[in-house]
């Protein structure tokens, strides 16, 4: 399982510190505790530590996995604590939202960093980072570990189920960013956003998280003696739709640098894997029919599965060869099963059907995959309430929702 590198934030403008401190000082005169200031600056320090998160997760992998990825969880909690304070800058269309220049290092954009004096840009960036941290938590959960019996390393069912929940959470952060935060930015300002925060990229990432969640579900279904072929086919077909939509959302996004190209190739790789799985299970179900036509369609579906599996390997090799260079992880879960079964089953079915029917019947075009409604949805994440330090009377105590967000003129 792989996910994009964690984005990094840098804060170079002291005006935010002065602005917030002035507000806090005024609040303290009215009885507000100094704890707000301490909590706020602790949060800022930890958020800045996100710049070092990739290093932390490498050097502390053993302890992080043993304790459920505590470093990533702490960073995610820090961001969640930071958002209520940050949202005070945009409360009721406050003029303060333009007073601070927020600077973020980019990953997929050709420009190294982007500075924008708009607090909604910071909210958008924070939600993106929260999603990346959640995906990194999933990476740790899905690391195969040696089982108690000492045999082959595997991922526990408990971790797989937990990973699906986190995938939905990551998708929810990104869905909130697209539906509630992007509309707060003017058309001109949205053109200044880095590729990392382009609507197509955010939507693709959200769909990727859902697609990977279904992939984990399919892996659990494969391991279950109770899951039918129909259940497995449905999950595989849903996975195809998620990855196809993710690919479609990246079509018009200028992905030109190394990380951006790896993102595009990653989606293409997983899309081919999903189609391999869907055609495999579709072929097995068609083969249960009793007619020459159904058997011919089954062989065609299995052959398509085999071809998509081979294509996915080519794309994965291109992904790994694209700078920054990476290594292909060992096969596990759904793909480990498919690489063991598809070539063997396809060869067997082709041989049997060639003995029974004409060559032309065996080579007919692959059948259309069935169309199932998508079951997994992003978590319904809402922006948190504005921190009380902005309003000692706690006038705005509710969540910021789509009806409360005041947009710039577009």
Predicted model pTM:
0.82
Q: Calculate the dihedral angle through the C-alpha atoms of 60, 62, 66, 70, rounding to the nearest 10 degrees.
A: 10
- Which pLDDT does position 366 carry in this prediction? 86
Q: What does the DSSP assignment read for 251-265?
A: TTS---SHHHHHHHH
- Which pLDDT does position 95 carry in this prediction? 84
CB 133 within 8 A of CB 72: yes
10 Å CB burial of residue 117 (0-12, 13-18, 19+) is middle
- Which pLDDT does position 61 carry in this prediction? 40
Q: 159-189 b/e with 16+ CB inside 10 Å = b?
A: bbebbbebbbbbbbbbbbbbebbbebbeeeb
Strands (E), 121-264: none
- Which pLDDT does position 119 carry in this prediction? 94
DSSP state letter for 179: I
- Which pLDDT does position 62 carry in this prediction? 41
DSSP state letter for 151: S
Give the residues across from 115 on adjacent strands.
103
- Which pLDDT does position 364 carry in this prediction? 58
pLDDT per residue of the chain (410 residues) written in tens, 0 to 9: 444 444 444 433 444 444 444 444 444 443 333 334 434 444 443 444 444 444 444 443 443 344 345 688 888 888 998 999 999 999 888 888 898 899 998 988 889 999 999 999 999 999 999 999 999 999 999 988 876 666 677 889 999 999 999 999 999 999 999 999 999 999 999 999 999 999 999 999 999 999 999 999 999 999 999 999 999 999 999 999 999 999 999 998 888 777 889 999 999 999 999 999 999 999 999 999 888 888 889 999 999 999 999 999 999 999 999 988 888 878 888 999 999 999 999 888 878 776 565 555 444 578 999 999 999 999 999 999 998 888 755 434 444 544 445 444 33
């Amino acid at each position: 399982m792989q996910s994009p590198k964690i984005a990094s934030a840098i804060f170079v403008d002291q005006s935010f510190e002065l602005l917030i401190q002035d507000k806090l000082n005024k609040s303290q005169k009215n009885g507000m505790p100094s704890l707000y200031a301490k909590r706020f600056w602790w949060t800022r320090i930890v958020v800045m530590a996100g710049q070092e998160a990739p290093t932390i997760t490498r050097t502390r992998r053993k302890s992080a996995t043993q304790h459920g990825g505590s470093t990533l969880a702490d960073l995610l909690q820090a961001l969640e604590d930071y958002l209520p304070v940050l949202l005070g800058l945009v409360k009721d269309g406050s003029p303060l939202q333009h007073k601070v220049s927020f600077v973020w290092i980019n990953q997929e954009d050709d420009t190294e960093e982007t500075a924008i004096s708009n607090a909604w840009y910071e909210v958008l960036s924070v939600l993106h980072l929260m999603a990346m941290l959640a995906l990194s938590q999933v990476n740790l959960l899905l690391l195969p570990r040696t089982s108690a019996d000492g045999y082959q390393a595997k991922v526990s069912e408990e971790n797989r189920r937990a990973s699906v929940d986190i995938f939905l959470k990551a998708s929810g952060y990104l869905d909130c960013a697209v539906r509630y935060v992007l509309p707060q930015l003017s058309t001109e300002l949205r053109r200044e956003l880095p590729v990392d925060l382009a609507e197509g990229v955010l939507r693709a990432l959200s769909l990727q998280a859902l697609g990977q969640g279904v992939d984990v579900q399919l892996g659990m279904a494969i391991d279950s003696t109770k899951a039918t072929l129909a259940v497995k086919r449905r999950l595989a077909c849903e996975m195809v739709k998620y990855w196809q939509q993710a690919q479609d959302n990246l079509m018009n996004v200028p992905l030109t640098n190394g990380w951006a190209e790896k993102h595009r190739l990653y989606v293409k790789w997983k899309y081919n894997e999903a189609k391999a799985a869907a055609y495999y299970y579709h072929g097995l179900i068609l083969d249960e029919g009793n007619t020459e036509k159904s058997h011919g369609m089954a062989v065609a579906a299995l052959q398509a599965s085999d071809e998509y599996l081979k294509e996915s390997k080519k794309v994965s090799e291109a992904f790994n060869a694209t700078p920054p260079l990476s290594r292909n992880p060992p096969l596990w879960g759904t793909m480990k099963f498919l690489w063991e079964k598809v070539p063997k089953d396809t060869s067997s079915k082709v041989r049997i059907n060639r003995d029974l029917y004409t060559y032309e019947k065996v080579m007919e075009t692959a059948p259309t995959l069935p169309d199932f409604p998508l079951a997994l949805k992003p978590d319904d994440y809402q922006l948190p309430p504005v921190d009380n330090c902005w309003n000692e009377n706690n006038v705005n105590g509710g969540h910021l929702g789509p009806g409360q967000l005041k947009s710039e003129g577009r």
